[in-house]
Amino acid sequence: MSAVSFAPAWPPDLATARAVRLRRVRLPRWLLGPGWPSRNGTPAFADLVVVNGHVASLQPSDGPGRHVVWTTGDDHDLDGMLALPGLVEAHAHLDKTLTLDRLGETEPGLLGAIAAMMHDRAGWTPEDVRARAGTALTWAWEAGVTRLRTHCDWWEPDTVPLAWHVLGELADEWRPRLRMDRAALMPLTFFAERGEAHRLAQGLARLDPTAKLGAFIHTSRWDPLAMRHLVQAAADAGLGLDLHIDEELDPAAAGLATLAGLLRETAFAGPVMCGHACALSAQHADVALATLDAVARTAITLVTLPATNLLLQDARTGHTPRQRGLTLVKEARERGIPVLIGSDNVQDPFCAVGDYDPLQALGTGVLAAQLPAAFDVWSEAICRHDWLDPGAPMPLAVGAPADLVLFPHARPHGFPARTHGRVVLRGGRLASPHSS
Ligand SMILES: [Zn+2]
């Protein structure tokens, strides 16, 4: 397996004008396509050539070019080292993050967490939000994240939240390194009146046309007419949707099924991100699979949040949880529905753990959903930028930035075990560990 020392220079600087070749890199099967040579399902190693921080070619190591004599000297034999492209954190809450240490005891479950958060946010200042969210972005960046979406709670229809502005400033400051956008997380009740729904969506579009319109869709405040207004308002304002939907185990939850119907009826082109959809796991299989069949005919991407689902679903004091709470990720992928895995809440009352490392979210998903082939198959769920941003190029396509996360100590089996000590290259340049 991989060597632990390299000569003459490790990690390599791929941002130079000279061509640099990384030989015998082990990339995941999903990235390489059906024509890539493989043996017993294991893809052949790859030779990756980078010029000026961008991918110049990606070829099988034992392909026709294997005997080409490389004369530049910038040639690194990685001996099967695992590598992934730049990582995606598709679902975060940077406004609420890293508040756990000051909250004291909180009630278990989703509603208890909401109550604790309401109490804490009364004391938020721009400096407080900036410090906490900035720490989160640093952690994500060091983990290898190049694209992150954060939700931002929006409690008063006519008051732009303090955190919204701070997160916008941080998005601008971080743009060269990591692209962040925002989704406004509003109560569904805001959309009960058609005119008000349109006014809200138009206002958000004027504030930030790249923002996503979001809402919390739950049986406790279920209103199918408001849902219809929400979809129509987003379509008319040219906004994408990013919804917290059916984050519960009540089989009566109908948010996702209703949304799929509305998207078809209104020919809403997307993008549409649906977080959680836990209720599918509590519904009769015929009902849940019919909903997934409908979702497969829309532009919906599902994002599953294993850590918060495990911690918040089936949560009662003194009770060992029986249900896992995850949505039906395997059945969704079987139907061609894009499924991302995200961190969600990190060290706040909703989730006491987490660190914005998508590999940790993937590892939790492997355990919670019994995901096979984490490296070759399911790492796709933390790398597919185009599932978050439709039209984005496939990672490591020729001409794309050389955003790479190298794992000198990891193996395909057991992944994401031993992903510590990773090397993050952004546009070919070393991002982490710091070169000081
Ligand atoms: Zn969330």
Tell me the CA–centroid distance for residue 311 and ligand 1, in Å: 13
Q: Using the mean position of ligand 1's atoms as its centre, give its distance from the Cα of residue 136 in Å.
A: 15
Angstrom distance (rounded) from CA 113 to CA 115: 5
Ligand 1 center–CA 92 separation, angstroms: 6
- How much is the pTM? 0.94
- Cα 433 to averaged position of ligand 1 atoms, centre (Å): 29
Query: 309 CA to middle of ligand 1, Å?
Result: 10
Half-sphere exposure of 433 (CA within 13 A, CB side): 8
Give the whole-angstrom CA distance, residue 98 versus residue 273.
24
Domains by residue range for the chain, with CATH: 12-85+395-430 (2.30.40.10), 87-388 (3.20.20.140)
**Residue 363 phi, psi dihedral angles, 5° rounding:** -60, -40
Dist. CA 370 → ligand 1 center (Å): 22
What string of pLDDT tens digits covers the 436 residues of the chain?
Answer: 444 444 446 788 888 888 899 999 999 999 998 899 999 889 999 999 999 999 999 999 985 554 445 555 688 899 999 999 999 999 999 999 999 988 888 877 777 888 899 899 999 999 999 999 999 999 999 999 999 999 999 999 999 999 999 999 999 999 989 999 999 999 999 999 999 999 999 999 999 999 999 999 999 999 999 999 999 999 999 999 999 999 999 999 999 999 999 999 988 987 999 999 999 999 999 999 999 999 999 999 999 999 999 988 988 888 999 999 899 999 999 999 999 999 999 999 888 899 999 999 999 999 999 999 999 999 999 999 999 999 999 999 999 999 999 999 999 999 999 999 899 999 999 988 865 4
What is the whole-number distance in angstroms between the Cα of residue 304 and the centre of ligand 1? 10
